[in-house]
Amino acid sequence: MATHYDAIVVGSGPNGLAAAITLAQAGKSVCVFEAREVIGGGARSAELTLPGFLHDVCAAIHPLALSSRFFRSLSLEQYGLEWIEPLAALAHPLDDGTAMVLERSIEATGETLGCDAQAYCSLMDPLVTNWDTLSDVLLGPLRPQTFRHPWLMALFGLKALRSAKGLTRQLFRGERAPAMFAGMAAHSFLPLDQRLSAAFGLMLGTSGHAVGWPIPRGGSQMIVNALAAYLRSLGGEIITDFEVKSIDSLPPARVLLFDVTPRQLLCIAGSHFSEAYRRSLQRYRYGPGVFKVDYALDGPIPWKAGDCLRAGTVHLGGTFGEIATAERQVARGQLPERPFVLLAQQSLFDPTRAPEGKQTVWAYCHVPNGSDCDMSERIESQIERFAPGFRDRILAKHTLTTSELEAYNANYVGGDINGGLANLMQFFARPAFRPVPYSTSAKNIYICSSSTPPSGGVHG
């Protein structure tokens, strides 16, 4: 470890490593400090259930990585990163034994949406056509130049500012398209009748058509391993098993960047900030938490809808109304009997994840922030609803409550994996109202976590 650096980054998640790489590319001396023995933040992988079964501890599917200008600018395949695109990005089964499927082809997707096929194609066609420009705007802070493209505001922004409920009621007549859109919009952790929930459905749907929802061969850990290898090739350093509790514990540096949430930033550096900025960070709100469960299975999930076996991600929640009810209950501090379940089945497409003939399953549902209720039975009931016999294939499982997630990664405050509530207020003030949201009131201290634009996800 050197005695002085141009920049120090605290936290080795994808955002922290992206910040370190950007500085190292500019010729700056950089050191990353990580509290745990293994780098990765929300992109770690481990054998959580049985030997030979590799599970993603948090992030699993990465629709924004291939849309990110930062990731596209790197040749991470030279450092062992290989992306796998499942046959379909998403399946959303219904009780009748059929499923809506998010394909790369908009038209093929429309064929699974019944009477709303044409309306869906009309919605998605212009967004997918302009995705390169649109994604550059969406995966960054709100800047004055954002408004230099009024057609972008008309194309995406006006719809994105709406609620998922309002947008789907206007556009669709049937049950299938609203249900699929609800599952994507629920990634917002917002009630589906709340403004901005539509943005997540539009963004995830468009990225599914434009670039797919890929998975990294060998687990999400391979993403951060590749980023770390590239950083070291630029001369950057990484120090693990070093928990930063105070700025005073760090070596001298010209600038400090923190891949942490406002809560940790206040604890580590609060005395360096103005009173007004401290109050802003104290007012920052965290969203619902998650209850997560990983399974080792003795074979694939026996889906009633065979198309689910083509998808890397499966959304389980039924109709728009059912998903909206579950998300509304969570927002009110209640535990839904039928939670909306996000499920990934990476081993169907990546044989490195499980022994031959076996499978892994990754799943979670939303719960009130800080709730430590064990939701595994309710999650399994939702899977059984669409895949009778699922329980018979379970060899082992591993669960994480909200408090266990926060103990694993301090950025998951109350189990919030998004780095804070993504409502309309915190769209503009993430984490505070500032011209440059990554800056703080201390001129040499910056925040670079999912508590800044564009919120959660692996995108750099």
pLDDT single digits (tens) 328-364: 999 999 999 999 999 999 999 999 999 999 999 999 9
Angstrom distance (rounded) from CA 95 to CA 384: 11
CATH assignment at residue 91: 3.90.660
Q: Check: CB of residue 333 under 8 Å from CB of residue 368.
A: yes
User: Could you give the number of structural domains in the chain?
Assistant: 1
Q: Which residues pair with 81 in a beta bridge?
A: none
pLDDT of residue 148: 64
Q: Would you list the DSSP string of 436-451?
A: STTB-SSTTEEE-STT
In a domain, 113, yes or no: yes
In a domain, 96, yes or no: yes
In a domain, 369, yes or no: yes
Single out the residue of 29, 321, 17, 281 nearest to residue 179, CA to CA.
Answer: 321
| Residues 18-73 pLDDT 10s | 999 999 999 999 999 999 999 999 999 999 999 999 999 999 999 998 888 899 99
The pTM assigned to this predicted structure is 0.96
Amino acid at 208: G
In a domain, 52, yes or no: no
pLDDT tier, 302 (very low <50, low <70, confident <90, very high otherwise)? very high
pLDDT of residue 154: 75
- 24-27 own/partner pairs: CB under 8 Å, 24+ apart: 24/231, 24/234, 24/235, 24/236, 25/234
* Residue 405 scores a pLDDT above 90: yes
pLDDT tier, 136 (very low <50, low <70, confident <90, very high otherwise)? confident
Q: Report the 10 Å Cβ neighbour count for 285.
A: 14
pLDDT of residue 147: 58
Q: Check: CB of residue 112 under 8 Å from CB of residue 176.
A: yes
In a domain, 339, yes or no: yes
Cis amide linkage into residue 431, ω under 30° from 0: yes
Under DSSP, the state recorded for 33 is: E
Tokens of 368: 């009130």
256: phi > 0 → left, psi -120 to 50 → alpha, else beta; which?
beta
In a domain, 440, yes or no: no
In a domain, 45, yes or no: no
Angstrom distance (rounded) from CA 168 to CA 50: 42
In a domain, 153, yes or no: yes
Percent of the chain at pLDDT > 70 equals 97
Angstrom distance (rounded) from CA 32 to CA 9: 5
Q: Structural domain of residue 89, as residue ranges?
A: 83-215+287-406
